[in-house]
Structure formats: C-alpha cells, structure tokens
Structure 1
Amino acid sequence: MSLGLVSGAVLGLQPVAWGIPGQSPDQAAAWVRDNPVLRPRPGETLNINRVDPDGSRFTFLASVAPPGRIINPLDRETIRSERMTFFRPQGLTPEDLFQAIRDIYGPEIAADLDQAVEVIRYPAPEALAGNQTYSLSRAIQGVVLQGNQLAYWLELTQNPDGRVQQGQVWVFQPEWLTKVEGELAERYPLQVLTR
C-alpha cells in the first residue's frame, strides 16, 4: 500500500533527473522540480511541505547536512541526506515507508533498496521483551539498511494507544553510517549486524 501523500505517483514513470545524496543542490533542485511524485509548488526547491484534507502530512528536505544531529557541513556544494517525514491519521506501516522511497526515487534506487542489507535495528529485540509499559524509547522503532549506492534509515513511532501514525525516512551517503550508529547508540539499545 502506498502512502496517500505520494499516491500521485504513476508507477513506472521515472523522474527526468536524479536527486540523490552526493549531487549538487542545483541538481537536486532540478530533480525535485521534475519529480512527478514530489510535485513541488512554486517556490519549493529542496524543501516540500504537504497537508492533505484528511490531516495527512508529508515533508521532504534535501540537505547538505548528514543524517542525524546537525553538524557543520564540510561544504555546501553536496547534498548529503534527504529526509522525509510522514503523519497519517489512518495509520502507517513499514511497507508504506519502503513504498514511498520506491515511488519517489524510481526503479534504480528501488532496486538498491530491495537488495539493501539491514545493518542496525533499534531497539534491540531483548529491549522490547518483558515490561510492556509505554515509553518513548520503546515506542520509536527503526532500521538502517545499506545498499550498494545509498543507505536508508526508516523509523516509526507508536502512540500510547498502540497506533502508528508517524514515521520518517532518511536517504543518505553510506559514509555517514558510523555517525548514525553512534548517535542511535546513545539513545537506544541497538542490534548492530555486521557490515
């Protein structure tokens, strides 16, 4: 099932230009402009914000900063990460996040995502066992995958009532995996798989 917020995608239709981490801001802006899924409004370039009548929200941000905590970028000439956030009142699943990446980035990145290897999962399964009381550290669950071209960080947040309506995705250069792992380890018990 595709997220309603990106359902304007015509499956199989490729954007005319690529806008992936590692490119210049101008290249990414051209890709955003021509992307049939992102459909930027006038004035939107590297940052898109959408609110649907049903209350669903979607944001997309291409950034020169790497994923995770903001650090001073080495230069401002390279997009290092792209972040998408989702809020969907009727619920959100991991497959919705995977499908959003496939829809937005097209077949080549979809193939890279589909063969990507899981390198980090949080919280670790043993941290979820036992006491079932709600806590933010248990409610936020994520996975980081490493593909041949890019790395993918997907995260969902469960509400106290058990519903999952919020999620986020980062698509980024694999060189930033160590930074992401270090920051996640400060907050969650991780299950780190060999790379």
Structure 2
Amino acid sequence: MDSRSVAMAKVQHWVAIAGLGLGLALLPSMVQAIPGQSIDEATAWIQSNPTLQPSRGEKLLVRKTATPAQRFTFQALPLQAGRAAPGTGGRAAIRTEELAMFDMINGLTIFRLEESLRAIYGASIYQDYAQASVVFAYPDLSIRGQATNRATPLLAQLQGELREGDRFAYWTEITRRADGYAYMGRLTVFLKEDLPKLEAELRSR
C-alpha cells in the first residue's frame, strides 16, 4: 500500500469514528488528558490517543480533513474557555480542550459531538458530561429579539449549552444556516472555575 493509500485509509477511519461515534468508544479506559494536567502530560496523551491519531509534528492541535467540506480539529489550550485569558497560578496547565467539527455534506448534530467526546475521552468523562446540570442554554427569546434588532442573524443561528458536571464544565455549540441546516459545531471541556467567566460572556454577547 503506497503512502497516499495509507493516508486515505486513516481519513476514512477518522470519518467512521467522527460520523458514527462508535469504534473506540467501547475500549477500556486509558490515561486521559484532561483540563488541569500539565502541557507535557496532555501532549503525551494526544500522541498516544488511538482516536485522534495526530500526524507527525502535531502536539496540542490535531487537524483531520476528509474533504474541503469535512474537517475535524482537537486542541488543548492553557487558556480559559471563551475569550482567551490566562489562568491564575504559577503552573502552566491545560485549562481548555475543544473538539470541533465542520461537515457541509452530512450535517452535524449534538449527538455526533457527544459520541466523539465519548470516543476520545472514554466512559468516565462522557458520564460526567451526560449527568451534568445545564447552567445556560441559548438562543432564548431575548437573544432572538436582540439578533433581529441588531441585524445580527448569526446570533439566532447559534444553538448552545453550558453544563456543570462533578469534574468539569462543558460547552456545546452548533451553528445553523438560515434554513436550519446545522453544519458546524464544537464541544469544549474546561475547568469548572472558568465557568462564571464564560457564562457572563455568552449572556452579554
């Protein structure tokens, strides 16, 4: 098998996982890169993660492209979720991890994001997310009204939710076209102490 065929096989493997959210979800739990760990720990976990399969040279940012209309990224950041801001304390640690998907061909659902979360992190983190309390969901009627008054329809096309779990906080967001077709989304895992900041930003935008 030549190098091009190998690369295509890897892309097809990723599409199967990202599209169905299965494959590796049933494997035993592994050491996880989760917010609060050091940059070195997160880098080592990403390198060994069988779902992410980073290319040579990729460390805290992993990109996968099936076609120009189908893309996936995963990144771990030492910054707070939302508007980038450093955390407090002297130790450099990962505060935010985000998986993002763009699919104009098949569309995107919250379920696909959730199943990708389970495939990457395993059952423990997935259960923390599934059992987490919803802190804020949008758009509500006031946001729809603001979008109309400000002539900013994109605000009304964003569907999102903030959750607070026992271990971490979670932010899901889906972008829809005017006709309701969802094509882009992200699911972010971040430190609970950063939740008030992000909630305030989302409520005020």
Fold shared by both chains (TM-score > 0.5): yes
Q: In structure 1, the residue corresponding to 2:67 is in which secondary structure?
A: coil
Tell me which residue corresponds to 2:67: 53
1:1-195 equivalences under 5 Å are 4=16, 6=18, 9-14=23-28, 16-53=30-67, 55-74=69-88, 75=90, 77-89=92-104, 90-125=106-141, 127-128=143-144, 135-187=153-205
Structure 1 segments unaligned to the other structure (5+ residues): 188-195
Q: How far 1:55 sits from its partner (Å)?
A: 2.6
Residue 16 of structure 1 deviates from its aligned partner by 3.3
Distance 1:167 1:105 in 2: 18
Residue identity over aligned pairs, in percent, reads 35
Aligned length, in residue pairs: 185
Normalising by structure 2, what TM-score? Answer: 0.81
- Bigger Cα Rg: 2
What's the TM-score once normalised by structure 1's chain length?
A: 0.85
Distance (Å, rounded) in 1 between the aligned partners of 2:181 and 2:142: 22
Deviations 1:105-152 (A, max 9, x none): 1011011111111111112245448x9998111001100111101111
**What is the distance in 1 between the residues matched to 2:28 and 2:102?**
25
Aligned-residue RMSD, C-alpha: 2.4
From the superposition, tell whether residues 117 and 31 of structure 1 become closer, same or farther in structure 2 (CA, over 3 Å). Answer: same
Which sections of structure 2, spanning at least 5 residues, go unmatched? 1-13
* 2:5 corresponds to: none
